Structure 1
Amino acid sequence: MSKDLQQPKQLEEVDLGQLFNMVGNLFQRLFDFILSIFNNIYKLILVLLIHVYKRIKWYAISGIIGLILGFFIDSSTDEVYGANAYIETNFGSAHQVYENLKYLHQLAYVDKDSIELARKLNISVKDAASIKGIYMRPDIDENDRIRMFVAFKKGLDSLSREEYSYDDYIESLDYYSFKRHQVGVASTDKFIFQKLNKSFSKAISNNDYLNELKNVELRNFITQKETIEIEKKEIDSLASEYLKIRKNESKKQAVVGSGTNLYMGNSDQNKLIVDESELLSKKTKLEALKREINVGLVKNENIVNVVSEFPDAGYDMTDWRDKMKVRLPILFFLITFFGFILYGMGKYLSEQDQKINKK
C-alpha cells in the first residue's frame, strides 16, 4: 500500500522538475535573445565608428562646406518675426472671421498681393509686403472643454445624457464652436504688429449682416437700460409718497380701525401695499441688472473683441533646428555617408560578379 502511495508522489516530482526545466530554458532563450540584440547593436555602432574614423577627412570637409553655406544662406535670408493677438467672436461670427483670415493669408503667403493686403489692413504697401502669413486657431485648454461638455449635458434628456460621451462631444467640436481664438502674424518687419492693432479686428469681421445684428443688439441693450431708469424713478417716487403717508399717519392720534392704508388688490388687508424693504430690494436688483447691461454693451460693441492686442514688437520665430547652418552640415554628412555606402555596395557587387564569371 505504501509503495502505491509513493509512486504518484515520484511522478508528481518528475512532472514539476520537467516544468521547472522548461521554464528555465524559456527564460534562458529570452535572455540570450535580448543579449544577441544588444551585441548586434554594439557591433553595428562599432562598424559605423570605424567607417567614419577611416574617412574622417571626407566627413570633416563635407561638414565644413555645409557650415559655410549655411552661414551664408542664413545671413542673406530675412529674419521672420511673429506675434499673437487674442480675440473673442460675437454673434456667431467665427465662420466669417476664419474665412476672412484665410483670404488674408492667401494674399500674404500665396498670392503675395501686397497692394490688396495693404488695402484690407489699412497699412502701407511696404508694410503689407513684409507680412508672410496670418494664422488662427482656438485658444482653449482641456478645462474649458470639460466646462463646455458639462454645460452641454445639462441641456440633454436623461437618455441622451447617458449615451453621449465626452469623446463624442470633443469629436463633434470644430474651430467655430469656441469664442476665444489666437491670431498669429508672421512678418520680416519686427515693428509692424503695433500698426495692425488699429484696423485688424474690422478687417477680419467685415460683414453687413453681422453689423446689422450688432446694431440691433446694442439698441436692445440701450432700450433695456432706459426702461430700468424709468422703473427706478417710479420706485423712488413711490417710496417718497410712502414716506409722506407714514409721516402724516404718525402725526395722527392712534385710533383702532382708523388711518390711511394702501392695499394690494389680491393681498392681505392687514399688509401695506408698499414696503420699504421690498422697494429697496427691487431697486438693488435693477442696479445689478443695469451693471450687467453695461458689461453687455462693452462686450457686444464690436463683432470681434480684441482681448489682447499685438505687442509693440515681434519675436524671432525661427528655431535653432531651422537654421541652415545646422541643417546643411547634417545634410552634407548624410550625403557623404550614403555616397560611401553606395560606393562600397557597388564595389562588393562588382567583386561578386567577377567571382561568378570565373566559375
Structure 2
Amino acid sequence: MSEQSNNSAPQSEEIDLGQLFKLIGDAFNRFFNFIGNIFKGLFDLLIMFLLFIQKHFIKFAIAGIIGIAGGFYWDYVSDKVYRSSMVVEPNFNSAQQLYNNIEFYNELADQEEYEALKETFPALTSEEAASIKSFEIESFSDQAQKIKQFSEFIESLDTISQKKVDFDDYLENFNNINAQFHRITVETENSRVAKKLQSPIVEAIQANSYFELQKKINDENIGLSDSLYQAQLTEIDTLQKFYREIKLREALKEQASTSISMGDAKQKDSEELELIKQEEQIKNSLIKLNEEKANTRSTINVISDFPNKGVEVDDFWNKKLVLLPILLVGLVLMVLMILELNKYLNKVRTIE
C-alpha cells in the first residue's frame, strides 16, 4: 500500500503541473488573440476610412480648392497686423497689478471699446485706438534665473524654514507672477501705435498710491543703509590710522630699546587684518546696495522698449489661406459622415 501511495504522489504532481502549464498557455493565447483583434479592428477602421475618402475625394478636393481661393482673397483684402513687444521687470510685487491692467486693456480691444482705449491712452487718435487688435503678457525665465530667485528666496527665510524648503518645492509653487521678467505684446493694424502705449502702461503702475509708498520706503531704507555703511567705513578708516600711529610709535621705541613684545605685535596685526576684512565686507554690501538702488529706481523697469515700428505678423497657421481650407474640408467631412451614419441606421431599421 505504501509503495502504491508513493507512486501515485508523483503522478498527481505531474498532472497538476501539466494543468498549470496548460492554463498559463491558454491565458497567453487569449491575451495575444485579444491584442491581435485590437490591431485587426484598427486596421479595418483605417481601411474603411480610406475607402470613405476615396469615395468622396472629389468633394474634398473641391472644398479644399474653394477654401484656398477664398482664404487667399481674404488675406489679400484684410488689413495687415503688426506685432510689437516690450520686456519689463516689475518691482515691489507689482506684477499682479500689471497683469490685471494688461487683461483690462485686452478686453477693451476685444470688445472694440475704442473710446475707452483712447481715454486710457491719451496720445492715441480715434483711428489709432481702433487699430489695436490685442494685448498680451507672458513671463519668461530660464533655469538660471529660477535658481537665482530661489537663492534670494532662501536667504530671506530663517534657518528653520530654510531646512523645510528645497528647489523642487519652489519650482512646484512657481507661477507667472514669480518670474523676474515679463513680455508685453501688442498687435495693431498701425505699425507705429505700440510706441505710444509704452509710457501710459508703465505710468499706470507707478501712479498707484500703494506702489508709490513702497518705493518711497525702499528709497529711504536704501539711503539709511548707505549712511550706516559710510559711517562704518569712516570708523574703520579712523581705527586703521590709529593702528598705524601706534605702530610708528612702537617702531621708534624699538630703535631705542632691544626688547620686543612679539605677542602684542601679533595681536595688533590680527586686529588690523580683521578691520580689512570688515572693510571689504562693507564695500561689497555697498556694491549690492547700489545695484538694488539701480534696480528699484522705478516701480516698473523697462528692459526693452517697444520698437518705433512693429513687425508684420506672418504666422503660417494663422493665415486664412491655411485655416479656411481646413475648416471647409472638415465641414464637408462632418456632413458626409452624418449622411453615411443616417444611411447605416436606415439600413439597420429595414433589416429589423
Q: TM-score higher than 0.5 here?
A: yes
Match of 2:333 in 1: 337
- Cα distance in 1 between the residues matched to 2:336 and 2:351: 23
Match of 1:304 in 2: 300
Is the 2:83–2:186 Cα contact (8 Å) retained in structure 1? yes
- List aligned pairs for 1:1-40, cutoff 5 A: 1-40=2-41
Task: Specify whether residues 28 and 311 from structure 1 end up closer, same or farther in structure 2 by C-alpha distance, changes over 3 A only.
Answer: farther
Is the 1:100–1:205 Cα contact (8 Å) retained in structure 2? no
Match of 2:256 in 1: 254
Moved more, 297-306 or 31-40: 31-40
Cα deviation, residue 298, structure 1: 0.5
Counterpart of 1:321 in structure 2: which amino acid? W
| 1:290-345 residue CA offsets vs partner (Å, 9 max, x unmatched) | 32222121111111122344456555656433333223223322333333333344
Is the 1:67–1:326 Cα contact (8 Å) retained in structure 2? yes
Is the 2:94–2:205 Cα contact (8 Å) retained in structure 1? no
- Cα distance in 1 between the residues matched to 2:238 and 2:170: 53
- Cα distance in 2 between the residues matched to 1:20 and 1:296: 76
Larger fraction in helix:
2
- Cα distance in 2 between the residues matched to 1:278 and 1:169: 38
Gaps in structure 2 of 5+ consecutive residues: none
Cα deviation, residue 61, structure 1: 1.4
- List aligned pairs for 1:314-333, cutoff 5 A: 314-315=310-311, 319-333=315-329
Counterpart of 2:117 in structure 1: which amino acid? L
| 1:226-268 residue CA offsets vs partner (Å, 9 max, x unmatched) | 45445545655665566567656756773699xxxxxxxxxx9
Q: Percent identity, please.
A: 28
- The yes-or-no answer on 1:214 pairing with 2:210 is no
- Cα distance in 2 between the residues matched to 1:157 and 1:242: 41
Cα deviation, residue 60, structure 1: 1.6
- Cα distance in 1 between the residues matched to 2:143 and 2:245: 60
- The yes-or-no answer on 1:86 pairing with 2:87 is yes
Is the 2:205–2:299 Cα contact (8 Å) retained in structure 1? no
- Cα distance in 2 between the residues matched to 1:272 and 1:222: 34
Match of 1:96 in 2: 97
- The yes-or-no answer on 1:294 pairing with 2:290 is yes
Moved more, 118-127 or 334-343: 118-127
Q: Which secondary structure does the structure 2 equivalent of 1:92 belong to?
A: coil
Match of 2:130 in 1: 129
Is the 2:133–2:187 Cα contact (8 Å) retained in structure 1? yes
- Cα distance in 2 between the residues matched to 1:19 and 1:325: 65
| 1:162-207 residue CA offsets vs partner (Å, 9 max, x unmatched) | 6x88887666665544544333333334454455555542234421
Match of 2:55 in 1: 54
Counterpart of 1:124 in structure 2: which amino acid? L
- Cα distance in 2 between the residues matched to 1:52 and 1:118: 52
Task: Specify whether residues 166 and 250 from structure 1 end up closer, same or farther in structure 2 by C-alpha distance, changes over 3 A only.
Answer: closer
Moved more, 304-313 or 31-40: 304-313
- Cα distance in 2 between the residues matched to 1:271 and 1:153: 36
Moved more, 246-255 or 129-138: 246-255
Cα deviation, residue 63, structure 1: 1.6
Q: Which secondary structure does the structure 1 equivalent of 2:329 belong to?
A: helix
Q: Which secondary structure does the structure 2 equivalent of 1:78 belong to?
A: coil
Cα deviation, residue 30, structure 1: 2.2
Q: Which secondary structure does the structure 1 equivalent of 2:111 belong to?
A: helix
Gaps in structure 1 of 5+ consecutive residues: 258-267
Count of residue correspondences? 343
- Cα distance in 2 between the residues matched to 1:247 and 1:271: 16
TM-score by length of 2: 0.75
- List aligned pairs for 1:56-205, cutoff 5 A: 56-113=57-114, 115-118=115-118, 120-121=120-121, 123-125=123-125, 126-140=127-141, 144=146, 148=150, 151=154, 155=158, 157=160, 175-198=176-199, 200-205=201-206
- Cα distance in 2 between the residues matched to 1:205 and 1:98: 14
- Cα distance in 2 between the residues matched to 1:147 and 1:47: 56
Task: Specify whether residues 206 and 34 from structure 1 end up closer, same or farther in structure 2 by C-alpha distance, changes over 3 A only.
Answer: same
Is the 2:124–2:196 Cα contact (8 Å) retained in structure 1? no
Is the 2:94–2:211 Cα contact (8 Å) retained in structure 1? yes
Moved more, 196-205 or 212-221: 196-205
- Cα distance in 2 between the residues matched to 1:327 and 1:50: 26
Is the 1:86–1:307 Cα contact (8 Å) retained in structure 2? yes
Match of 1:262 in 2: none
TM-score by length of 1: 0.74
